[in-house]
Amino acid sequence: MVGCIITGHGGFAPGLKAAYEMIGGDAEDFVAVPFTNENTAEYPDELVAAIDDLLARDGEVVVFCDLMGGQPCQQAMLAQVSRPGVEVVCGANLPMLLECLMSRDGTAAELADLAQEIGRMGVAHVERLEADAAPADADAAFAGEGDGI
Amino acid sequence: MAEPNIVFVRIDNRLIHGQVATQWNNTVGSNLILVANDEVAKNTMRQKLMNMAAPQGVATRYFSIQKTIDVIHKAAPRQHIFIVLETPQDALRLVEGGVPIKKLNIGNMHMSEGKRQVATTVAVDDDDVAAFRKLRELGVELQIQRVPSIPPEDPEKLFR
């Protein structure tokens, strides 16, 4: 299992973790490290401690950051320099976490690639809902086929 | 005729949503989510919204209660069916109509005027209780459990 850390500005990390848990339930080895006005000085050490803790347990870690180039992302990339087995993903979102936290059997690099793919898929300008003129009998096509419903 | 492969039946006000699509579907391993609900069967907008929430690779059907009763026995063995319902009255109609439901999971039944909260996410009125009692008499096992990762609550809470 690859350990996972969510980190970001303000309430982003605990907020996204709580959002994940509402849908996906509790996840093992999934830690939120917030970066706030109150812990700017201690934040680098807190992030490194969380990474090292998960590395010791799982061997590999993916750090999901809110913003490319932001302080959390920068600190994660600095920590990564001396730590093989750590991968960093920016632009973290909920669809990404939902998929990734349930697909942690491969390597950290594979998980980070998956995160990028799913995270992009989750961003969409959705089509406006239109009421169909005549409500289709959506189930008619499936009835009486003799091969399932 | 072979019995339909119904792997899970759940009462949930929100029908298909994140907890159903993600946690329950992973746990029960269905490949077809059947929403049996008279209102939704006629409402293509709600169907489209629920299709957005459904997991990839899982088919969806939106049948009326009567339609479900009429076609369920045509299900193929490869169809592992997860039935989602809004109310215990609908569950009772299905069972009385011959849909083989052995166990009924009770997830979310929202609080509203005239209902009383009997479990963490379950509120009922007398008519709901009567439906649950009848279901139990017909041999349906009742289970109160919101998500798979938290323990079930005592189904007797429904009848107190």
Q: Of all helices (H) and strands (E), which one includes residue B84?
A: strand B81-85
Q: How high is the mean pLDDT of chain B?
A: 95
Whether B73 is a known active-site residue: answer no
CB contact under 8 A, B41 and A23: no
Domain contains B71: yes
Structure tokens at B47: 């169907």
Q: Which residue of B has its CA nearest to A124?
A: B52
| CA distance readout (Å), B57 to A88, A120, B15, B25, B115 | 29, 19, 18, 11, 37
* Cβ separation B79–A143 shorter than 8 A: no
| Average model confidence (pLDDT) across chain A | 91
Instruction: Report the CATH number at residue B58.
Output: 3.40.35.10
Of B91, B116, B125, nearest to B106 by C-alpha is B91
Q: Is A80 exposed, middle or buried (0-12, 13-18, 19+ CB in 10 A)?
A: middle
Q: CA-to-CA distance for B139 and B121, rounded, in angstroms?
A: 24
Rounded to an integer, what distance in angstroms lies between the CA atom of residue A83 and that of residue A87?
A: 9
Does position A145 have pLDDT exceeding 60, yes or no?
A: no
For residue A138, pLDDT over 70 is answered with no
Structure tokens at A11: 């309430």
- Percent of residues in chain A assigned helix, strand, coil, to nearest 5: 45, 15, 40
Number of domains in chain B: 1
Give yes or no for B44 touching A (CB within 8 A): yes
Q: What is the pLDDT of residue B160?
A: 87
Domain boundaries, chain A: 6-121
Q: Which residues pair with A116 in a beta bridge?
A: none
Asked if B1 has any chain A CB less than 8 Å from its own CB, the reply is: no
Domain that holds residue B40: 6-159
What is the fold of A6-121?
A: Rossmann fold (3.40.50)
Instruction: Provide the pLDDT for residue B106.
Output: 97
Q: Which residues of B touch A132 (CB under 8 A)?
A: 44
Q: Is there a domain that residue B20 lies in?
A: yes
Domain membership flag for residue B1: no
pLDDT tens readout for residues B7-35: 999 999 999 998 888 889 989 999 999 99
Contact between residue A33 and residue A47 where contact means Cβ atoms under 8 Å apart: yes
